[in-house]
Amino acid sequence: MARVLVVEDDQFVRSALIRHLTEAAHTVRSVGTALEALREVAQVGFDVVILDLGLPDLDGGEALKMLRGITDVPVIIATARDDEAEIVRLLNDGADDYLTKPFSVEHLSARMTAVLRRSRATAAGAEPPSRVIRVGGLSIDPLRRQAELDGAALDLTRREFDLLAFLAERPGVVVARRELLAEVWQQSYGDDQTIDVHLSWLRRKLGETAARPRYLHTLRGVGVKLEPPR
């Protein structure tokens, strides 16, 4: 059972989702606008948000960015838009999954189950390491999901932390981009832009650039590695 927020302005689609999710034993709340969604998320704890893009007051893509500013709750985009470039952009902006309408309730349930499984495993610190990971001045605690650089706390998004921790567990090892998509994003599809955007944000927070790397090194056509500064 999960606490689900459905953000959908089409009353017919909204009612159908509420009915089927409730029948599946989920606790469901629903709203029809982006601003209502932001208010609900700020006041009520949810396990997953199902977000339509065609909202009357604010585009769902902008709503997603605002949601990511206040919460790490998993977000599944559910929309009629099927442009691949937009899908990649939304995944880069923090969406956890993307469903194109029309879709079956079974399909939505399977995607929800996968997203919730990953989210709960992360929250529970599944198979936590026995010690904090240290690479040079980096200190990463996967169980508490905390990271420091030279003793100063790093303010990382959920995806940035997952990427940093995954690479730090393999210091000096070049990790292929396909492996990063599969293990960090839990996706079998995507392009290099998905990884490059997050690497750029992460580099900025580590005080480095692609031209002047300290910890994160990209090997063109091969992958990415993290190692202590020389």
pLDDT at position 131 is: 67
More confident residue, 230 or 223: 223
Distance (Å, whole) CA 172 – CA 183: 18
Mean pLDDT (the chain, rounded): 86
CATH number at residue 16: 3.40.50.2300
Of the chain, the percentage scoring pLDDT greater than 70 comes to 93
Q: How many CA atoms lie within 13 A of 124 on its CB side?
A: 8
Report the pLDDT averaged over residues 11-28. Answer: 90
On the question of pLDDT at 80 being above 90, the answer is no
Q: Which of the listed residues 82, 97, 123 is the one where a domain comes to its end?
A: 123
- Residue range 209-220, pLDDT digits in tens: 989 999 999 988
Domain shared by 59 and 138, yes or no: no
Domain shared by 147 and 219, yes or no: yes
Residue 124 structure tokens: 């529970």
pLDDT at position 29 is: 93
Q: Of the given ranges (26-30, 43-47, 188-192), which has the lowest mean pLDDT?
A: 188-192
Q: Which of the listed residues 123, 158, 176 is the one where a domain comes to its end?
A: 123
Distance (Å, whole) CA 91 – CA 40: 22
pLDDT at position 137 is: 93
Confidence of residue 124 (pLDDT cuts 50, 70, 90): low
Domain shared by 17 and 107, yes or no: yes
Residue 128 resides in a domain: no
Q: How many domains does the chain have?
A: 2
Distance (Å, whole) CA 73 – CA 96: 9
Domain shared by 8 and 112, yes or no: yes
On the question of pLDDT at 111 being above 60, the answer is yes
More confident residue, 118 or 61: 61
Domain shared by 55 and 101, yes or no: yes
On the question of pLDDT at 67 being above 80, the answer is yes
Residue 90 resides in a domain: yes
CATH number at residue 192: 1.10.10.10
Distance (Å, whole) CA 49 – CA 27: 12
pLDDT at position 126 is: 47
Enclosing domain of residue 42: 3-123
The pTM score is 0.55
Q: Which of the listed residues 92, 123, 154 is the one where a domain comes to its end?
A: 123
Domain shared by 76 and 139, yes or no: no
On the question of pLDDT at 36 being above 70, the answer is yes
- Residue among 204, 120, 129 nearest 170 (CA): 129
Domain shared by 98 and 141, yes or no: no
On the question of pLDDT at 190 being above 80, the answer is no
More confident residue, 106 or 180: 180
Domain shared by 103 and 76, yes or no: yes
Domain shared by 148 and 209, yes or no: yes
Confidence of residue 91 (pLDDT cuts 50, 70, 90): confident
On the question of pLDDT at 175 being above 70, the answer is yes
